[in-house]
Structure formats: structure tokens, C-alpha cells
């Protein structure tokens, strides 16, 4: 007989924490929360593996808040007692938001600060001078504050969390983290939260944890087929664009959607292609500053737009031995030119994502799992659709083998769609693709950078002193923009396949007919002329006679 599931009110939590949980409408804890929270409340170190979207953040945030509330009953001194390390700035903001939601009823007693952003260190000094109870940041930013003595953890720290632990080393934080640990006290409670147990996590375990409880939850890394439906469709490069156009324009894909590609150029190529048909999508990649990325994510979460085209450039192909090390080094050099603390497929919580489309096949099994993990989170339903070209078939086989090893009953099913039925749209897609040239993609990327410069707070004073530079930048137009053709916006009825007419809702803009407003009695002057009458038989020269009288 199965044991009854432990509920939040049975864990001995503070009433204020229970009220915050109730305000979030959490009826019962997830598996990771049910297992981890009681052990954490007992003061034990934890190494926990759970799939993305399983509630790992609350699993460590609730024990931290509970510990701080209990500590403040006997200790009045304000100090930083909890440190949460994250691999990306986006994840840092998400963790801060979750902690604030859980401290809704005790915000005066538990204060939290996120210093993971790209704000200047001096601007964050006043926040840290107030000694918030919980500090969130990336290892590099926390180490910077420790070295500049704006943050001191040597005596006050009681709890340490490393979230998405398997990503920290791959993001280049190995040395920063090792140096950071030297600034911490010898005794503290630690949590390592990860989606996978790899060699990096094992190294962290030896560095950070002391006799930890290891939670290897038996649940698979992805939800089962009752919650997540996974499809694949075999198509070549040109057909990928044809399919994405058809799915969006005929509303075959409905709801908020994340489209994943493998490079920044592909991001802008797909964005400009969709713009040809008045399908608006937003781009999310490592070239954008962190404030812009977080702003885009917030707007998406608030349903201000439905489509995001995202990259996950940090994911590496599964290689072996020295070849893998070489690739990592090459990637690290390339990533530093952008933002090496960027991450979309991991950590970031997009709300109510109905679909994930892998426009480009992910480079590894882990990348596939983390991409698809953006949908079907909590108890929501989700769909994942992956485009597969003939060169990507071995990657598809790797993913299917990995999922079969986890006993998933929902591996990637073939998507039953006959591409011959949408051949009528092919000429439109070719026409749109001709407009998206390499130069127009380059101009689109430059345009994004210009916009960021114009919106930059750091450059605001410079532009005030140099208005000419501001005007030049603002009025500098692209030399080779992607030409948008208005006629591609509408979908003619004759192009829609007969089999799809009953289920599609094409985005067709209808022309408004002009109608005269009838006020009072109808007169000869305001009466609409009868176009069927023959003008040669009903011609009068009264107008000319009136002109002649007025002239005389």
C-alpha cells in the first residue's frame, strides 16, 4: 500500500509561509518538494536531482525562509545568512521573484537581493550595505563583491545553495567558485540542485557538501505522454520555413510558442522571414544585454506577444576525450565575446508555454531535454515539435534511445502531416526567403545593437552632451533592409487545402467596405448613385448651366 503524500501544512512550516503558498494556489508539494523540504528543515546537506520545471526553486527556498524566520526569533542582528548561486542572470531574477512570492507575508522579516545583473558594482553597494538576509548572484559577481569588501560572508553565512549545479563549470565559473569558497565559513548547510549528475556535480559535491543526503528521484526528466506530447517531422531546410509559415499562418499551432535555433544568425533569418508575412516574433540571444533579455521574458510571460525565437549557443555537441576539451575552449573564447552568463533552455521559467518547436535539431540529448522542458511545466499541458533533416537523423536516434532508456511511453511520434497539401504556399516562402539576404540579417543585428545604445542608461549623459551623435545614430537607416511585401500578409482562400479548411483559422485581413451614413430623409444629393444605370442614357448638363449662370 502506497504511503500518503506529505502536504505543506504537515511539514511544520511557519503560518506566514503557508499563507504565501496558499496565495500561489499550490494544492500539494511536488515530488522534489515533498522529499527535500523535511530533510532540509532537519539541517542536512542535500544533493538533489530533479527534472526541469519540477519545483526545485521552492524546494530550497522554503527551508531557507523557515530557517531565517526561526533565527530572527532569538537573534536581532541583521546579516547575510543565505547565499544562492546561479549560472545565469535570468535565473537569478527568477529565483528572486520566487523568494519574494514565498515571503509575501513576511517581507519585513526576510529581505532578498539579486546582484546577478550587469549593473555596475558600485550601484549594488548600497543594496548590500543593508545586509539582506538572502543574496542571489552568479559566482563571478559574488566573488567580485567579496574581493571589493562590499560583501562579507566569513562569519554570518549559514546556508548555501548552488542551483543548476551541472551548468556552473560549463559556463566557465570553475575558478570563480573555488576562489569564492575560500571566503565562506567552515560550517554551513549546503544544497546542490541539478537536473543531471555529471562529473562537474561530483566535483562540486566534494568541494561543498558534508555527508549529504542524495535524492535521485525516480521520475523521468520529461513528463509522460498524458502531459507532454512529442512529435518529429522529417523535412529539409526549405521545407522547415514552409512548415513554420503554414503552422503559424493557418493557426495550426496555437498558444505561446518558443522556437529554438542553433545560432544567432538563424535567429534573425527566421525572424525576418516571419516578418514578411506580418508574423511578429521576438529574438532572445546572448548578444542582447541582460536587462533587455529579462524585459523580453517578462513581456512574453505577460502574454504581450506569443512567439519567441531563442538560441542556446552554450550547449556543446557530445564529443569524447580531448576533442571535447578543445571544443569547450573554443566555445569559451567565443562566448566571452557575447555574454557567457546567458541561458534560455536552462533555468529560465517561461509561463504557460503551450508549444516548443525545435526549428534546428538540438546538438545533444541534454539540450533536447532542457528545450522541451520549457513547456508542460507544473501541471500544464504541452507539445514539442522537432524538425529533422536527413543529416540530423543520427541525433534523432540518440534522443529516442535516451528517452527509451528512461521508459518513457511518449518518445518522438511522427507528425502526421502531408507536405504535398501545402505546396501552394511554397512559391510564397521562396519569395520571402529571397528578401532575407545575408546583408539584411547583418543589418537586423546592427539595428538591435543601435536600439540598445539609444536605450542605454549609461550612455544617456553622453548623448545629452553630444546630441549630434544621438541624432546620427537615431536616423541611421539600414542600407539593405529585408523588403516586406504587403500582399504576403493575407492567405487567399484558394490556397488553403480542403482537408485543413475545417480546422484552420487563417489570419486574413478583410477590406472594409465604404458605407454612407443615412441621416434624416434621403435626398437626391446624398443618394448613392445607381451604378447599373447607363450614364450615356441618363446624362444631364445641369451642372454646366449652373456654372454659366453664376459666371453671368
- 61 grid coordinates: 527556498
What Cα–Cα distance (Å) separates residue 486 from each residue in 247, 277, 437? 20, 8, 18
- 304 grid coordinates: 504581450
DSSP structure string for 215-282: EE--S-SS--TTTEEEEEEE--HHHHHHHHHHHHHTTSS-S-EEEEESSHHHHHHHHHHHHTTT---E
- Residue 252 to residue 254: CA distance in whole angstroms: 6
> In CATH terms, are 12-69+76-216 and 228-316+351-436+482-495 the same topology?
yes
What Cα–Cα distance (Å) separates residue 514 from each residue in 57, 180, 456? 57, 71, 46
Q: What ranges do the domains of the chain cover?
A: 12-69+76-216, 228-316+351-436+482-495
Q: Shortest CA distance to 242 belongs to which of 81, 60, 425, 114?
A: 425
Q: Structure pTM?
A: 0.70
Residue 10 has pLDDT above 90, yes or no: yes
pLDDT tens column, 164-205: 888 887 777 889 999 999 999 999 999 999 877 778 888 889
pLDDT tens column, 305-357: 899 999 875 543 332 333 334 434 443 444 434 555 555 555 566 788 999 99
- State mean pLDDT over 7-29: 93
- State mean pLDDT over 432-442: 89
Please work out, in degrees rounded to the nearest 5, the angle formed at the alpha carbon of residue 202 by the alpha carbons of 196 and 206: 145
Burial status of residue 156 (CB atoms within 10 A of its CB: 0-12, 13-18, 19 or more)? middle
Q: So what's the architecture of 12-69+76-216 in CATH?
A: 3-Layer(aba) Sandwich (3.40)
Lowest mean pLDDT segment, chosen from 137-151, 359-373, 510-524: 510-524
- Residue 128 to residue 125: CA distance in whole angstroms: 5
Q: So what's the architecture of 228-316+351-436+482-495 in CATH?
A: 3-Layer(aba) Sandwich (3.40)
- 188 grid coordinates: 554551513
Percent of the chain with pLDDT over 90: 43
- State mean pLDDT over 22-34: 91
- Residue 475 to residue 462: CA distance in whole angstroms: 17
Burial status of residue 194 (CB atoms within 10 A of its CB: 0-12, 13-18, 19 or more)? buried
Contacts of 206 (CB under 8 A, 6+ apart): none
Question: What pLDDT does residue 160 have?
Answer: 97
- State mean pLDDT over 362-370: 87
pLDDT tens column, 98-112: 999 999 999 999 999
Per-residue confidence band for 223, with pLDDT thresholds at 50, 70 and 90: confident
Question: What pLDDT does residue 329 have?
Answer: 41
Which range scores top for mean pLDDT: 229-233, 284-288, 378-382? 229-233
- The DSSP bridge partners found for residue 33 are none
Amino acid at each position: 500500500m502506497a504511503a500518503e503524500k506529505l502536504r505543506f501544512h504537515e511539514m511544520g512550516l511557519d503560518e506566514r509561509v503557508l499563507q504565501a503558498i496558499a496565495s500561489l494556489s499550490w494544492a500539494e508539494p511536488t515530488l522534489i518538494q515533498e522529499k527535500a523540504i523535511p530533510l532540509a528543515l532537519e539541517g542536512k546537506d542535500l544533493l538533489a536531482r530533479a527534472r526541469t520545471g519540477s519545483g526545485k526553486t521552492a524546494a530550497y527556498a522554503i527551508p531557507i525562509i523557515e530557517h531565517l524566520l526561526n533565527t530572527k526569533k532569538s537573534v536581532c542582528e541583521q546579516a547575510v545568512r543565505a547565499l544562492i548561486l546561479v549560472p545565469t542572470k535570468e535565473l537569478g531574477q527568477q529565483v528572486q521573484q520566487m523568494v519574494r512570492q514565498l515571503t509575501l507575508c513576511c517581507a519585513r522579516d526576510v529581505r532578498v537581493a539579486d546582484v546577478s545583473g550587469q549593473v555596475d558594482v558600485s550601484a549594488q553597494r548600497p543594496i548590500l550595505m543593508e545586509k539582506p538576509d538572502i543574496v542571489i548572484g552568479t559566482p563571478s559577481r559574488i566573488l567580485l563583491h567579496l574581493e571589493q569588501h562590499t560583501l562579507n560572508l566569513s562569519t554570518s553565512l549559514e546556508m548555501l545553495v548552488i542551483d543548476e549545479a551541472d551548468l556552473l563549470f560549463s559556463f566557465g565559473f570553475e575558478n570563480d567558485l573555488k576562489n569564492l569558497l575560500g571566503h565562506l565559513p567552515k560550517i554551513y548547510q549546503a544544497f546542490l540542485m541539478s537536473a543531471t549528475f555529471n562529473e562537474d556535480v561530483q566535483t562540486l559535491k566534494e568541494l561543498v557538501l558534508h555527508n549529504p543526503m542524495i535524492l535521485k528521484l525516480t521520475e523521468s526528466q520529461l513528463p509522460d505522454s498524458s502531459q507532454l506530447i512529442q512529435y518529429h517531422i522529417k523535412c529539409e531546410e526549405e521545407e522547415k520555413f514552409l512548415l513554420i509559415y503554414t503552422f503559424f499562418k493557418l493557426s495550426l499551432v496555437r498558444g505561446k510558442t518558443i522556437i529554438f535555433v542553433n545560432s544567432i544568425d538563424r535567429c534573425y533569418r527566421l525572424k525576418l522571414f516571419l516578418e514578411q508575412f506580418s508574423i511578429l516574433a521576438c529574438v532572445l540571444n546572448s548578444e542582447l544585454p541582460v536587462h533587455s533579455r529579462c524585459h523580453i521574458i517578462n513581456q512574453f510571460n505577460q502574454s504581450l506577444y506569443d512567439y519567441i525565437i531563442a538560441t542556446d549557443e552554450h550547449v556543446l555537441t557530445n564529443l569524447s576525450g580531448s576533442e571535447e576539451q578543445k571544443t569547450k575552449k573554443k566555445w569559451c573564447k567565443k562566448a566571452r565575446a557575447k555574454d557567457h552568463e546567458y541561458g534560455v533552455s536552462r533555468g529560465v521559467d517561461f509561463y504557460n508555454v503551450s508549444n516548443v518547436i525545435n526549428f534546428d535539431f538540438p546538438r545533444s540529448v541534454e539540450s533536447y531535454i532542457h528545450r522541451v522542458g520549457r513547456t508542460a511545466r507544473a501541471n500544464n499541458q504541452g507539445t514539442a515539435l522537432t524538425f529533422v533533416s536527413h543529416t540530423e537523423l543520427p541525433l534523432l536516434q540518440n534522443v529516442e534511445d535516451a528517452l527509451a532508456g528512461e521508459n518513457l511511453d511518449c518518445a518522438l511520434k511522427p507528425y502526421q502531416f502531408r507536405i504535398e497539401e501545402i505546396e501552394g504556399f511554397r512559391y510564397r516562402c521562396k519569395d520571402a526567403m529571397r528578401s532575407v539576404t545575408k546583408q539584411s540579417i547583418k543589418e537586423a543585428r546592427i539595428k538591435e545593437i543601435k536600439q540598445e545604445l539609444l536605450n542605454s542608461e549609461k550612455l544617456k549623459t553622453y548623448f545629452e552632451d553630444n546630441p549630434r551623435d544621438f541624432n546620427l545614430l537615431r536616423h541611421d537607416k539600414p542600407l539593405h533592409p529585408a523588403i516586406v511585401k504587403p500582399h504576403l500578409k493575407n492567405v487567399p482562400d484558394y490556397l488553403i487545402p480542403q482537408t485543413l479548411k475545417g480546422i484552420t483559422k487563417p489570419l486574413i485581413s478583410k477590406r472594409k467596405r465604404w458605407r454612407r451614413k443615412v441621416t434624416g430623409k434621403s435626398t437626391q444629393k446624398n443618394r448613392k448613385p445607381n451604378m447599373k444605370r447607363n450614364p450615356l442614357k441618363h446624362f444631364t448638363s445641369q451642372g454646366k448651366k449652373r456654372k454659366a449662370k453664376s459666371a453671368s
